[in-house]
């Protein structure tokens, strides 16, 4: 787990800060659709999907649809489907494996709708409103959908760790949520092997 202000002179942290500040991640695309992730995190997603073959990937925070399209293209090869939740309505790419759900990802009713849709091996990615209270709600309602051996990915845990932010965010939500369930989740630091990641401490595998 990242610790605020601790490693500011670490070359890895410096590069992560430089990368984040460059804003290039706001100008990154997959098949022409913007995706707000690092190429290294996307590659890690590909490795996780290949190794663990989820039947369903639940994503919160569709934005322009680039991340869901990326996931769907992985599933084109491996099998499975994506459900992507966003509170905002906009035109997004069409793909037969993607279901776009217009809903607030911090509501229990949304989690119930998602639960009714998914089956088999389920992976969950949280990438919507990054404030601590919202991520806590997503963790409470959506993390239980993750099946044993599959991944829960809490995006942007770099905020307030490597990168300063305005208020408590995903890292604080995750730390607080994990407090009473350390045996159920294994932090997979190996997923940070490329050194550039927006999700330090955010790759979690559900124990069986
Ligand atoms: C960081 S962007 C998602 C980036 C996208 N996953 C990607 O990698 O390209 C955050 C998205 O969360 C959505 N959002 C914000 N609050 C939300 C909420 N309460 N429920 C669902 N989506 C929300 C926003 O509309 C925005 O599209």
Q: Which of 115, 86, 114, 83 is nearest to 99 (CA)?
A: 83
Tens of pLDDT along 15-62?
Answer: 999 999 999 999 999 999 999 999 999 999 999 999 999 999 999 999
Range of the domain at 196: 11-206
Q: Which of 69, 71, 87, 106 to mutate to test the pocket of ligand 1 (most atoms within 8 A of CB)?
A: 87
How many domains does the chain fold into?
A: 1
In a domain, 3, yes or no: no
Strand order in the sheet with 122-126: 98-102, 81-86, 56-60, 122-126, 151-154, 203-206, 185-187
Q: What is the CATH number of the domain that holds 121?
A: 3.40.50.150
Asked if residue 2 belongs to a domain, the reply is: no
Residue nearest to atom 20 of ligand 1 (CA): 104
Residue 157 forms part of a structural domain: yes
Quote the CA–CA distance of 67 and 205 in Å, as a whole number: 20
pLDDT tens per residue, range 124-161: 999 999 999 999 999 999 999 999 999 999 999 999 99
State yes or no: pLDDT of 7 exceeds 70: no
CA dihedral 89, 72, 70, 178 (to 10 degrees): 80
> Nearest residue CA, atom 18 of ligand 1?
104
Ligand 1 centroid to Cα of residue 181, in Å, is: 26
Q: Which atom of ligand 1 is nearest to the CA of 63?
A: 27
Q: What is the pLDDT of residues 62-113, one digit of tens each?
A: 999 999 999 999 999 889 999 999 999 999 999 999 999 999 999 999 999 9
- Determine the atom of ligand 1 nearest the C-alpha atom of 104: 20
Q: Is residue 30 part of a domain?
A: yes
Contact residues of ligand 1, CB 6 A cut-off: 35-37, 60-63, 66-67, 85-88, 104-106, 127-129, 134
Q: Considering the domain boundaries, does residue 1 fall inside one?
A: no
């Amino acid at each position: 787990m990242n610790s605020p202000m601790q490693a500011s002179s670490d070359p890895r942290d410096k590069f992560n800060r430089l990368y984040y500040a460059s804003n290039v991640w706001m100008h990154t695309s997959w098949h022409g659709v913007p995706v707000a992730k690092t190429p290294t995190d996307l590659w890690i997603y590909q490795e996780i999907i290949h190794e663990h073959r989820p039947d369903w990937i639940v994503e919160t925070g569709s934005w322009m649809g680039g991340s869901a399209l990326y996931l769907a293209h992985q599933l084109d090869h491996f099998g499975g489907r994506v459900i992507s939740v966003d509170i905002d309505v906009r035109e997004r790419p069409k793909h037969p494996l993607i279901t776009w759900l217009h809903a607030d990802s911090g509501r229990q009713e949304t989690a119930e709708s998602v639960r009714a849709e998914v089956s088999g091996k389920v992976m969950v990615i949280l990438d919507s409103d990054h404030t601590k209270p919202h991520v806590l709600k997503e963790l409470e309602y959506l993390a239980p959908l993750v099946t044993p051996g599959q991944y829960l990915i809490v995006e942007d845990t770099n905020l307030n760790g490597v990168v300063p932010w305005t208020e408590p965010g995903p890292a604080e939500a995750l730390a607080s949520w994990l407090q009473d369930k350390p045996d159920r989740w294994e932090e997979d630091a190996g997923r940070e092997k490329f050194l550039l990641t927006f999700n330090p401490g955010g790759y979690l595998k559900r124990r069986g």
